[in-house]
Amino acid sequence: MSVAVPVELAAAASPVKAVYAHMDCLMTGIVNLKKAGFTDLMVMTPMPRHEVEEAVYEGEPSPVRWFTLCGGLFGGTMVFSLMSLTHANWPMILPGGKPVVSVPPFMVITFEGTVLWAALGTLVGLLLNCRLPATDLPEEACDPRFSSDCFGIVLERVGANDAAQIRHILEHSGAIEVTGGVAASPGAVANHGDSHHG
């Protein structure tokens, strides 16, 4: 049974992967790709590098900070409320002239609650924004060399018309290996679709 081939699927090429042994070559690759208008790229490094972050994110701050702030505010408020409400709930309140809800001694646990929940909020923010556990990364990104001594660039969604230009940029930036970027023929895509849907 044959299936109609969607135009965008027919025009797609396989993901392109470039492997680098040198930091300056990696940076050249990123900058030249962005200059050519290819911004949907994934860069792999074995350690954090500020120049990579700057080149890819251009100073855009991570939203993790909002998770930290919200976590801290929630924690401080929640813990202070817990202490106040439980003290007010004692069956016999004999304060002897002292306030039942007393701010100075409650500040210690309020501080601890703020810090604890700010940390938990940061953890949630980290996991959500990093999309961890990461199960949907392309196979090309899962190269063991990227946790050892190599850097990498992967372009997952590549149009068949762009593949040659992308490969050219990566090869000329000093990549030690460039793979992918092969345009899938309409027939192959149709058969592929056939095997899934047929």
Distance CA(151)–CA(23), nearest Å, equals 7
Question: Which residue number, 120 or 190, has a Cβ lying nearer to other proteins?
Answer: 120
Nearer to other proteins, 5 or 151 (CB): 151
**Length reported for the chain:** 198
- Which lies closer to other proteins via its Cβ, residue 23 or residue 36? 23
Shortest CB 129 distance to other proteins, Å: 4
DSSP 3-state assignment of 123?
Answer: helix
Rounded Cα–Cα distance for residues 2 and 187 (Å): 10
Sign of the CA dihedral 54, 50, 32, 163?
A: negative
Q: How far is the CB of 181 from other proteins (least distance, A)?
A: 19
Q: Peptide bond before 186: cis, by omega within 30 degrees of 0?
A: no
Residues 24, 134 contacting (CB under 8 angstroms): no
Token output for 108? 């210690």
Q: Which is nearer to other proteins, 1 or 132 (CB)?
A: 132
Q: What is the enclosing helix (H) or strand (E) of 17? A: strand 16-20
Which token pair is 137? 């990364």
Q: How many helices (H) and strands (E) does the chain have?
A: 7, 6
Residue 77 Cβ vs other proteins, minimum distance, rounded to whole Å? 15
| Residue closer to other proteins, measured from CB, 65 or 157 | 65
Footprint on this chain of other proteins (rule: CB under 8 A): 21-25, 42-49, 52-53, 56-57, 61-62, 64-65, 68, 79, 82-83, 86-87, 89-91, 102, 105-106, 108-109, 111-113, 115-116, 118-120, 122-123, 125-126, 129-135, 137, 141-142, 144, 146-149, 174
Shortest distance, position 62 Cβ to other proteins, whole Å: 4
Q: How far is the CB of 39 from other proteins (least distance, A)?
A: 12
